[in-house]
Structure 1
């Protein structure tokens, strides 16, 4: 499948990031602790009413165990965005409020005939692509790399202590009393340059900007609604996957940055797979396609997957974990986060 067209987007400059942080700073303490990375409206589609309660199966991939949970206890991250998160949640809610009507349109068969619904479906996928555990982990790796680089520079400086004492005098106007004062100065120098990284302010700005840019990339992409007639889909806690087929037919599709992806797909119910890329159309998923979707959801999940209690997918999930598909060696070849 040829890759869909996409506009060229530029990253934020350091000055732009700083300006946006200052604009948000008055609301920095306006915080919502529990933030879903898989919308509850989506999770409800994977749920079943059991003894007057709506539950789904939560599968922990790290420990290969199952539990019956309500949607409130699934697909969420505590303190996902720690800085001015309330305004970000309000922005996400504008999209989440359109999920149920969009899913209803799909079930009624009218989604593809409405430009507004197609736009909403793109937004739903983009929201789950950006507001994800994967996005957070990539940012955390970048943060640690930044701090590690700073610490490395100061580690080199420690090889020349006389330079550090001169630096201390130049900075404070008096001589350091001893090594403890020098180390305190180094701590201040490292972390004074990165308070907005540590507070979550940079992540808050970057994740919103990332969302806006991905929206612009996919705004003209085709929307495919595929129906699983023979089997059921599950959904992982990184549900919207941007993939490209590997050159090696024996290897699974790779998760790649959206600018390199052939398609972005996301299960939105046990029976419906939503895809961005290609032509706008509906179609059916055969058993092999259902298997591949479920396999990729488990492969690229952070730690959890969810499915309908009566789906019979427990054996599939356990068999998957019994193999080495999620071993570090495998993921090193299958993941591309750059």
Structure 2
């Protein structure tokens, strides 16, 4: 049976993107402002939330399985967000659970996780090839002779043949089809979800300014540095943060907390969203955050050019 496939998949939940919208011209469908951090000088055009925060074939194999898992969280989000806006997120323990899961979902279902996964697979594959060539050179030569009729000489030929064997392996085929990625991301979501269950939830509002949201929005942070450091491993982080609207940000913490943060800290957290973005951040069209986004995007470009 062919695995079900959903091509266009939202990495940023539409229910979150809608929080950053306003009615379009003449009362048309709601719009937000995407900002392209790759091209900060480009004129940015408003779009509807359905056109933002998505990727094609992010989970390419049996994507319906992953969508069902994400949906187990997202279908419960509207009521929890309504409680956040009402200032009563802790009135119902189930709201805390779903909001915490929402943070974890956006930490795992991300361009960042896919990049880490892809890099890790490449590193492991290269290590396997080196190990096989180092430990089994004669077996490789015999197998090459059996398959191709060629007598391999020199290490380059051995590496090339070993690479071909790895590419033809069942694991490599699973990587190429996307099956391994689906298994990996679902497993990681469940693992981080279980680990985060011991954390409580902070619901933070700005004393001034607004939050924006990036296309890698669930971000690990440490606040003991200036500027804040971000995107470290889950176990090394002080928190995972997730903006859920211009006026609210969720953070995993040591206790359930309703609090406010100064405008300077809001700017720091917005800058983290911009620096961690794959390509876009999204903001309310009247937020006035384009200047901050442009400056942080140029900072990001300069940092990457120096590396």
- TM class by shorter chain equals 0.7 to 0.9
Residue deviations 1:92-118, cap 9 Å, x none? 112111121111111122211211110
Mapped partners of 1:291, 1:106: distance in 2 = 21
13, 23, 47: which one aligns with 1:39: 13
Name the count of aligned residue pairs.
297
**Match of 2:178?**
200
Show structure 1 runs of 5+ residues with no match: 1-25, 333-338
**Match of 1:286?**
262
Whether 1:166 aligns to 2:137 is no
Deviation of the 1:231 alpha carbon: 1.1
User: 1:155/1:94 Cα in 2 relative to 1: closer, same or farther (>3 Å)?
Assistant: same
Mapped partners of 1:163, 1:220: distance in 2 = 50
Mapped partners of 2:252, 2:111: distance in 1 = 20
Whether 1:80 aligns to 2:58 is yes
**Match of 2:235?**
259
Matches within 5 A, 1:137-216: 137-150=115-128, 165-169=141-145, 171-172=146-147, 175-176=149-150, 188-193=164-169, 194-216=172-194
SS at match of 2:269: helix
Show structure 2 runs of 5+ residues with no match: none
**Match of 1:69?**
47
Q: Which moved more, 1:117-126 or 1:281-290?
A: 281-290
Deviation of the 1:131 alpha carbon: 0.5
Mapped partners of 1:123, 1:154: distance in 2 = 42
Q: Structure 2 length normalisation: TM-score? A: 0.87
SS at match of 2:281: strand
Whether 1:107 aligns to 2:107 is no
Residue deviations 1:167-203, cap 9 Å, x none? 323x44x834999x99996564121221112211211
Pairwise CA RMSD of aligned residues?
2.8
User: 1:50/1:140 Cα in 2 relative to 1: closer, same or farther (>3 Å)?
Assistant: same
Confirm or deny: 8 A CA contact 2:204 2:261 kept in the other structure.
Answer: yes
Whether 1:300 aligns to 2:248 is no
**Match of 1:321?**
297
Q: Structure 1 length normalisation: TM-score? A: 0.79
